């Protein structure tokens, strides 16, 4: 069994999801008391977040590069970056160490290709939705990527940083806004939607939206686990009142929660 090097803490709310799913995947494959061999380097997200919003990606690359070298020295055979946004500096990380990085966009593209999907919506931080590092990696592999409009992107971004990364109880109006954005992407022809920020699982849950998710969100650890990137189709739309808001169910589409497949599992 190889040793996985995890760079986490961005935020820790989602890092626990990676840790849990990896170990559940190993147990499901090997059985018994087996668990993953891994080492985790958790950064201080406040420092990273400030640099992100200043646009100082070089400084974030230095911090994560040092983390990657520490993991390599601790015996990691390869790296997993437990964040979508910080794949913005994936090339610098690959240069910093002599071990491979499992790129989350590549894992996503492979899953989409297996299902014949060529056009998807993308939700995530503003950096992930607007900058080229994630979108162009998918487009280079034949996946057309749709993103929300400017106002919608600002709302998605704000909810992630001001609510989800802080571990606050998601607001009903935030959930309604996300569902409306998902519906808008479906209306533009998206065959599915990538949840390109793991924290979104704290907001969009199957019981709340009737949209089956491919993994359980971090806040529902006791629910039945489903394998990563195993999409399920959404049934017919209907309205459900939520507080003072009424949420329109997205039309028929599929949502992918972007967490790597069971590490070490062969494609089927």
Residues tagged active-site: 83, 197
Long-range contacts, stretch 155-158, CB < 8 angstroms, 24+ apart: 155/181, 156/123, 156/124, 156/125, 156/126, 156/129, 156/181, 157/125, 157/126, 157/129
Which residues of 89-176 form beta strands (DSSP E)? 101-102, 119-123, 144-146
User: How many CB atoms are closer than 10 A to CB 266?
Assistant: 6
Alpha carbon distance 103, 90 (integer Å)? 8
Q: How many whole angstroms separate alpha carbon 111 and alpha carbon 260?
A: 10
DSSP state of 224: P
């Amino acid at each position: 069994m190889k040793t996985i090097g995890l760079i986490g803490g961005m935020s820790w709310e989602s890092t626990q999801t990676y840790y849990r799913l990896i170990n559940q995947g190993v147990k499901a494959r090997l059985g018994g008391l087996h668990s993953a061999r891994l080492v985790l380097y958790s950064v201080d997200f406040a420092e990273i977040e400030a640099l992100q919003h200043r646009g100082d990606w070089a400084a974030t690359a230095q911090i994560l590069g040092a983390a990657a070298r520490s993991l390599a020295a601790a015996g990691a055979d390869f790296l997993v970056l437990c964040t979508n946004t910080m794949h913005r500096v994936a090339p610098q990380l690959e240069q910093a160490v002599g071990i491979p990085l499992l790129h989350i966009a590549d894992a996503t593209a492979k899953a989409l290709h297996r299902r014949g999907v060529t056009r998807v919506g993308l939700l995530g931080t503003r950096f992930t939705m607007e900058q080229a590092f994630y979108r162009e990696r998918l487009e280079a592999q034949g996946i057309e990527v749709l993103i929300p409009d400017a106002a919608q992107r600002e709302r998605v971004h704000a909810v992630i940083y001001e609510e989800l990364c802080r571990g606050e109880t998601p607001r009903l109006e935030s959930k309604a806004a996300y569902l409306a954005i998902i519906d808008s992407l479906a209306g533009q022809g998206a065959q599915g939607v990538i949840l390109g920020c793991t924290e979104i699982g704290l907001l969009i849950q199957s019981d709340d939206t009737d949209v089956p998710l491919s993994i359980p969100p971090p806040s529902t650890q006791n629910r039945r686990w489903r394998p990563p990137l195993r999409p399920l189709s959404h049934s017919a739309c209907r309205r459900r009142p939520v507080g003072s808001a009424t949420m329109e169910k997205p039309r028929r589409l599929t949502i992918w929660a972007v967490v790597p497949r069971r590490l070490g599992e062969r494609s089927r």
